[in-house]
Structure 1
Amino acid sequence: MLEVKLHDVGEGMTEGEVLHYLVKVGDSVMTDQPLVEVQTDKMVAELTSPCSGIVKEIRIEAGETVQVGTSLLYIEIDEAVRAVQKSFVETKSIAEEQSIPTIKLEEKSPHMPFNRILAAPYTRKIARDNNINIEDVHASDPSGRISEEDVLRFLKGQQTDTESKKESKQVEVDQEVPDEIPFRGIRRKIAEKMTKSLFTIPHVTHFDEVNMTNLFKMREQLKADGESVSVSAFLIKALVISLKDFPIFNAELDEENSRILLKKNYHIGIATNTDSGLIVPVLHDVDKQSIKEINANVGSLTAKAIAGKLQPFEMKNSTFTVSNVGPLGGMGATPIINYPETALIAFHKTKKQPIVNEHDEIVIGHIMTLSMAFDHRVADGATAIAFTNRFASLIEQPHKLMMEMI
């Protein structure tokens, strides 16, 4: 009898939530066959079978959160299944040598104890959340892998059928019954982490304004020269330069050993809004990247976060987090620090408004508001103000930003 335990999937996790079993007691399984999906802090991971055999017992129910090392299920090693698997592999090899068409893995066959559907865990989750049997979904990719788009296309067709049936039957709906949203997965992990941060760190939020007018002019000049760079890339570069001048905000408090750890790496977390909740991909070693490289890497990470395709290493070891909510609107907020970091900065809406220039003239400027939350155990308000002043000076006078990169 072989135990299948919850193991660390590669991001330093300590626990995980059992989302869904892909097998049941009595099923025959093969080596590397997906057995169960688990939710970690920031991703859905698929645990596979270490051997061929029969599922004898499932110890943990779906929906439970357990520690790493917990036994999830037991598999009885089945020599007969192993022999069938070996026979299939040998038959397939002979067929390939003789140029005889072999049985496709996605087709049901008496030689195969299971019919594996090729699909990412997140794609399976979409199907499961919408009560779709993923085996009923047609793969548009020639490889046979089912994509999110395939599932959504299937769902749309299903909904159309359901609406037609409802129209013909005139089903009466009880308006008093509330809708329900499961409080689990990423949503629950976000809640747990935010609660820990808020109840552990004494938050202070500092608000400020930054004149973006000159930066916008420089971007327009770059566009005219064929270079398109997002505002975020400039903001992140200015932040890293400011963090080098004020390392207390690129730090972590180690209360147990009574010390503050000043990090020498500059790994910036990019808070990203996705359909699954707030995800924070990490842009590593930003101090070693040009503004152009930052622009490309932020775009790539954001796209992967939204698609649910981030790798574990792309969500680890952030030292400071940025939340760019300006495109969504809003003038300010009191953001919660990404524990165990010391600070987080949020960029809000930029709007045109009258300002007084250096010649005491009233002109129209582009003003962005920001809010910076910091750990009052580690830093004080005066230091936070000095930090945002330094940041603002680099943005308001872009030539200073250029000089810092020479």
Structure 2
Amino acid sequence: MLEVKLHDIGEGMTEGEIVHYLVKEGDTVKTDQPLVEVQTDKMVAELPSPGEGTIKEIVVSEGKTVQVGTTLLLIEGEGGSSQEEESVQEETPSPTATKELTRKRMTTTINRVLATPYTRKIARENGIDIEQVPASDPSGRVTEEDVYQFMNQDQEPVVEETTKVPVKETQPDEIPFRGVRKQIATKMTKSLYTIPHVTHFDEVDLTRLMELREELKADGISVSVPPFFVKALVFALKDFPVFNAELDEENETIKLKKDYHIGLATDVEDGLIVPVVHDADQKSIHELHDHIKELNQKAKEGKLAPKQLKGSTFTMSNVGPLGSTGATPIINYPETALIAFHKTKKRPVVNDQDEIVIRQMMNVSMSFDHRVADGATAVAFTNRFMSLIENPSKLMLEMI
């Protein structure tokens, strides 16, 4: 009998929530076939089958949160072996068994749609087959609103052929406090109670950068703004390495990191996750554009690999597209600082010639660990970043 246990998927996880089984008792499975969806602190992962056989027993029910090492289900080999073992032994099935196994595999189809665990839970609790729910998102991702709309369409009574009676949408009275949301709360609480936060505010003139993007666009080159932010941050971190560091209180040292792995605070349906641009100093603006775009798409679809969610040395949060004008961001523990970029807005500004001109201005807020750095250093850091962003030609020269 093969025991399928919850193992450490990444980042030293200690527990996971059993979201949804992709098989049921009696199903025949093959090696590497997805068996169960598990919600970790940052993503939903599928655990594959370590061998071939028949699902003998599902031990842990859906919705339960269990520790790493817990047995989730049992797989019995095709030969009917009940021996306790860590791996499935190779067997030569009879022609009849082979024919039956082939028939079962050919008639077993696993359809997967993009949806968060919470959305799937809503569908299951209301008896909705999520495979039948049309996705409103262009990526094909089914949202909880899609499920509610599909459910309400099924319940709408027809009064006349051309008249429909609107049905009030059913909204949940409670939201489960577990999975990503619970882990965010745990990490944020640890960060606030451990790190003495100080937040520095400033504003950046993005006019020249926006003009550069328009010039590139006219030449057929489309590049978003965040790659420029990442590149400017790397140069600023090289000049002020204390912000690319981690405080080791036990050994009374500040570890200055030699790598520049920039975390991208990203808002998804279940909460906030931080995919990481590794070795940002070694990537061009165009490479950063493609990489950031890929990470954002995978984050929305819940397809980020564990290695894409760990190792950040400094985090940036681009909340401007959401309409934010300011905030006091919480540091991504155990990092030293986090910078947030807010909404870009055209505003009248007095230039050096005392003229009132219209410029595209963006608010910036930077929270830092006051145990590691002082306010003057934080101001110098943001000034360095701003000088590169406000004068893109300087940024280009740094990359030569």
Query: Could you say which TM-score interval applies, normalised by the shorter chain?
Result: 0.7 to 0.9
Normalized against structure 2, the TM-score is what? 0.82
The structure-2 alpha-carbon separation of the partners of 1:282 and 1:104, relative to structure 1 and needing over 3 Å to count, comes to same
| Partners of 1:18 and 1:367 in 2: CA distance | 46
CA–CA separation in structure 2 for the residues paired with 1:386 and 1:213: 22
Residues in 1 aligned to 2:17 and 2:315: alpha-carbon distance in whole angstroms: 26
1:345-378, Cα deviation, whole Å (9 max, x unpaired): 1001122222221222221222111100111121
Give the corresponding residue for 2:86.
none
CA deviations on 1:13-36 (whole Å, 9 max, x unpaired) are: 232222234456x63543445443
Deviation sequence 1:318-355 (CA, Å, 0-9, x none): 11111111111121101111111111110011222222
Change (3 A) 1:19 1:366: same
The structure-2 alpha-carbon separation of the partners of 1:80 and 1:124, relative to structure 1 and needing over 3 Å to count, comes to farther
State how 1:313-392 maps to structure 2 within 5 Å.
Answer: 313-392=307-386
Q: Per-residue displacement from partner, 1:43-65 (whole Å, max 9, x unpaired)? A: 11222343455656655444343
| Distance (Å, rounded) in 2 between the aligned partners of 1:369 and 1:157 | 41
Correspondence 1:241 to 2:235 = yes
Query: Could you say which residue in structure 2 is the equivalent of 1:162?
Result: 155
In structure 2, the CA distance between the partners of 1:255 and 1:17, relative to structure 1 (3 Å rule), is farther
- In structure 2, C-alpha distance between the alignment counterparts of 1:342 and 1:104, rounded to whole Å: 55
Between the aligned partners of 1:282 and 1:13, the Cα distance in structure 2 is: 18
Match of 1:183 in 2: 177
Separation of aligned partners in 2, 1:49 and 1:155:
33
Is the CA contact (8 Å cut-off) linking 1:6 and 1:69 kept in structure 2?
Answer: yes
Count of residue pairs the alignment pairs up = 383
Change (3 A) 1:262 1:375: same
Cα 1:214–1:153 change in 2 (3 A) is closer
1:5-404 alignment to 2 at 5 Å? 5-22=5-22, 27-32=26-31, 33-52=33-52, 59-77=59-77, 79-80=79-80, 87=95, 90-91=98-99, 105=105, 107=107, 115-119=108-112, 122=115, 126-131=119-124, 134=129, 137=132, 148=141, 157-164=150-157, 179-404=173-398
Question: For the Cα contact (< 8 Å) 1:29–1:54, is it kept in 2?
Answer: yes
- The answer on whether the counterparts of 1:3 and 1:71 sit within 8 Å (CA) in structure 2 is yes
SS at match of 1:256: coil
Distance 2:159 2:116 in 1: 28
Q: Contact (CA 8 Å) 1:44, 1:121: kept in 2 or not?
A: no
Q: Is the 8 A contact 1:106 1:117 kept in 2?
A: no
- Distance change >3 Å, CA 153–CA 216, structure 1 → 2: closer
RMSD, matched Cα: 3.8
Q: Which amino acid in 1 is paired with 2:375?
A: G
- The structure with the largest helix share of the pair is 1
Secondary structure at the counterpart of residue 36 of structure 1: strand
On the 8 A contact 2:123/2:147 being kept in 1, the answer is no
Does the aligned pair in 2 maintain the 1:267–1:320 contact within 8 Å? yes
Pick closer, same or farther for the CA change 1:362–1:286 going to 2, 3 Å. Answer: same
Alpha-carbon offset, residue 69 of structure 1 = 2.0
Deviation at 1:189, TM superposition (A): 2.1
What residue ranges of structure 1 are gaps of 5+ in the alignment? Answer: 94-101, 108-114, 141-146
Could you tell me how far apart the structure 2 residues matched to 1:23 and 1:401 are?
Answer: 53
Of 344-353 and 188-197, more deviation after overlay is shown by 188-197
Secondary structure of the structure 2 residue equivalent to 1:394: helix
Unaligned runs of 5+ in 2: 82-89
- How far apart are the structure 2 equivalents of 1:269 and 1:50? 33
Aligned counterparts of 1:59 and 1:321: Cα–Cα separation in 2: 40
Matching residue's letter, 1:160: Q
Provide the rounded CA distance (Å) in 2 between the counterparts of 1:139 and 1:327: 27
What is the identity, as a one-letter code, of the residue corresponding to 1:190? I
Q: How far apart, in 2, do the equivalents of 1:216 and 1:378 lie?
A: 34
Indicate the larger mover: 230-239 or 385-394. Answer: 230-239
Q: Which moved more, 1:305-314 or 1:377-386?
A: 305-314
User: Counterpart of 2:18 in 1: which secondary structure?
Assistant: strand
From the superposition, tell whether residues 302 and 135 of structure 1 become closer, same or farther in structure 2 (CA, over 3 Å): closer
Q: Sequence identity of aligned pairs in percent?
A: 58
Shift of 1:292: 1.5
Partners of 2:145 and 2:272 in 1: CA distance: 22
Aligned residue for 1:230, secondary structure, equals: coil
Task: Give the 3-state SS of the residue equivalent to 2:157 in structure 1.
Answer: helix
Quote the Cα distance in structure 2 between the aligned partners of 1:78 and 1:224: 63
Provide the rounded CA distance (Å) in 1 between the counterparts of 2:333 and 2:183: 13
**Contact preservation (8 Å) 1:4, 1:73:** yes
Task: Give me the TM-score of the superposition, normalised by structure 1.
Answer: 0.81
Which amino acid is the alignment partner of residue 69 of structure 2?
G
